Amino acid sequence: MIHSNFEVLQLGLQDYQDTFEAMKHFTQNRNASTKDQLWVVEHPAVFTLGLAGDPKHLLQETTIPLIQTDRGGQITYHGPGQVIVYVLLDLKRQGFYVKELVRRIEQSVIATLAELGVQAERHPGSPGIYLTKEYAQLAGAKIAALGLKIKNHYSYHGLALNVKMDLSPFQAINPCGYPGLQTIDLASLGVTQRDSEVANVLIQQLLGQLSTTEE
């Protein structure tokens, strides 16, 4: 069954804290008739720390701000050249639980990367998307991060896909709490599509995954 209950908002470059507050406000004020939304954004350089995250995963002092959030997971980095999609979804209406939501979001990213000629996979117990063993020294490098908050069966926060960005800030952290975890972007793999083109593919994959309920 297909639901046509989504709005896609292309928000461009947005301050992280302002967007975080807007997500919370939207979620607190929505009801059973509110359309689900996908927010496509980009943030200036910022580190974000999950609700139970350990600040010790920030390894050095930096001019990049660190913001505490209420999503799951540890520390990550957002910056220009990264496609971020926030998933504001009514899980009860869609008929699936959070593990299924995570699976569908991850599948959207895997399918998007496949369209761009990149082979990627899940790692059980470590939300996000990683390069496969075909990439030799880059095998296991993380190319997309995922973190969600569920409140009253509504989701917010979402995913971040590295397209063409300065990856050096990741060296100042243990990405997602994993010491030595390598991060990568599409440009480093020879993908030349612009952020907007990658975002369009990703949105179509997300709409397909999140709008279909299994009979």
Instruction: Supply the residues annotated as catalytic.
Output: 176
What string of DSSP letters covers 128-187?
Answer: EEEE-GGGGGGTT-EEEEEEEEEETTEEEEEEEEESS---GGGGGB-GGG-TT--B--TG
User: Residue 155 pairs with which residues in a beta bridge?
Assistant: 150
Provide the β-strand partners of residue 113.
none
